[in-house]
Amino acid sequence: MLIAMTKMDEMVIRVLYGSETGTAQDVAEQIWKSAKRKGLQSTVSSLAEYDIQNLPSEQLIIFVVATTGQGDPPANMKQFWRQLLRKNLPATMLKNLKYGVLGLGDSSYSKFNFAAKKLNKRLAQLGGEELLPIGLADDQHNLGIDAVVDPWIKKLWDEIVDVFEISVKEKTNEDNLIIERFGVSIIEINQLNPIHIDERLTGSPYQSNADIYAQETFINNDVRIGTIVENIRTTSEDHFQDVRLINIQADNIKYDPGDVIYIRPKNTAEQVKRFFDILCEHEIKLFPDTVIQVSEKEIKVPFVLKRNLTLREIVEQYWDLNFKPRRSTMHTLSLVSDNELEKEKLSEFASPIGQEELYDYINRPRRNILEVLTDFPHTTSKMNIKLLFEIMSPIKPRLYSIASSLEATPNRIQVLVAVVKFKTRLVEPRFGLCSKWLASLKNNDKVIFWLQKGTFRFNNDKPMILIGPGTGVAPFRSLLLERAKKEDLKECILFFGCRNEDKDYHCRQDFERLSRENNLKVFCAFSRDQDRKIYVQHLIRQQKELCWQFLENNGSIYLAGNSKNMPDNVRDEFVSLAKEIGKMTKEQAETFIKHLEKSNRYQTETWG
């Protein structure tokens, strides 16, 4: 995100963001709206759209940057970052620049907020001066990124007042209560609402025939349309978790082991019906076949919204009905509410002192936007199409490690997907939007996707220790299937973990065949098949001599899976291994593992 001034008495705030899935864009727009309410001129766009040649003439820049993979910048920041790293840039290039960097990250990743930290350092190297210290927001915090974002933005405005001696006082009036990003209008009202025709209809009337994102394939060669050719459950029917191996066909695709696929999911028919039920209940005259036009007002209109769409298409494919409202959402709702009790509660949720209560209301039970609208009926009755575009959040693309090999299955992409479903204190179970949608797909259904380099950098010339419990095994299946087509696998060890050998041993036939025919060393931890729980770190301890032999031969460790406890437990085991087998002190063993990490011989890919 970037802020630039032209004149002291006429500040123009340009907000630039770097984000893979859109969170940084949300925060950038939050700052943009704050600037507009203060009566300041402001625009917002991505870093990819910013001309870096303007950088030396800027006076004040604030970046909001997410981090991907192994500390990499997001896709729409990469070109900007490459230009900023040019060796011929003078050390005084940014001598007139004051800057601030707000990073959005996840502390479950070892390289937490690396992209923001590297950017902050590079700006200083080029002569820039910090306006305020770097902000490092953490998605793992109880309050989410808002725990850092909100006080950081407040500090930003305080520093702008002190340094540039301008007023940033809110200029609130009826005209700027709601800052609208787009021009939104209804160009055709079709009241043939399925809800009124037949209340039993819960399927096709709430699903559109066309995919609104298919048009992206015309402007971006990387975006593709794939066809589902197989959707297999890899866990037993009586297992608590539904895990799918989904096979997608697409011609002329290229990827390597370790690469990832981004998929655009949709809301379920049940969720879409619930949305329209809420509109109907509150007598909001918006129907599924109402045609909507979105035009540019303050913010550039996303390409997908540049053609007229029905409300059904927008609700099913653009708005995230599982979205957990943030503090800024509650603030917007509080501005339109005219019910005293509801307005008071919404204002409290939007205030700094109400963040713990907001966490208990939203984050702990994972309450979604539809449930919030139901809980505040008087406020919901004030909704119209323009307000809906302000409180709803777009569906973010979901990322999955590719589990297949083009050598083994040409023109195929396979993903190993665990269907997210769990209970909270709310009656209705929570579910993952994308995983549930993917699990529902049938043969010949279509998916919109694109491929991208993953975080792993495999060294095929050296021994490999692969650790992938659960669906973390996906990138290693891709790697092993690829290598098996060309060479023996005697220099590979796979540690896999699950609950039960007969219930959730994903892709068992593949690994048993590779062990039998290609000399792959496979060690499985089935944690619930005996009285004492056995995890992958216990098997590493059992195979400590073999692991040390691999490491002595310049082997590398690759780990993928849930970030909760497993990565730390595995790392501790390798420290212990270095102490015991390598005859090192505790300090030497820790230094040894850190050296492996810094030299990319110990790579991790984890998620919360």
Determine contact, residues 507/537, Cβ cutoff 8 Å. Answer: no
Torsion of CA 468, 469, 475, 479, to 10 degrees: 50
| Helix runs in 397-532, H state only | 433-440, 474-484, 508-518
Torsion of CA 57, 114, 105, 107, to 10 degrees: -160
DSSP 8-class letter at 68: B
Nearest to 351 by CA among 151, 588, 519: 151
DSSP 8-class letter at 600: T
Determine contact, residues 66/11, Cβ cutoff 8 Å. Answer: no
- The annotated binding site is made up of 19-24, 66-69, 104-113, 139, 366, 398-401, 432-435, 471, 527-528, 533-537, 607
- The annotated binding site for FMN is made up of 19-24, 66-69, 104-113, 139
What DSSP assignment string belongs to 537-571? HHHHHHTHHHHHHHHHTT-EEEEEEESSSHHHHHH
Determine contact, residues 555/600, Cβ cutoff 8 Å. Answer: no
Torsion of CA 491, 497, 501, 503, to 10 degrees: -130
- The annotated binding site for FAD is made up of 366, 398-401, 432-435, 607
Which amino acid is present at 134?
I
Q: How far apart are CA 18 and CA 25, in angstroms?
A: 7
- The annotated binding site for NADP(+) is made up of 471, 527-528, 533-537
Q: How far apart are CA 44 and CA 27, in angstroms?
A: 11
Pairing of strands 309-310, 421-422: unpaired
Pairing of strands 260-264, 398-401: antiparallel
Q: How far apart are CA 325 and CA 332, in angstroms?
A: 11
Task: Write down the residue that tokens 């975080």 correspond to.
Answer: 455
Half-sphere exposure (CA, 13 Å, Cβ side) for 19? 23
Backbone φ and ψ of 414, nearest 5°: -115, 135
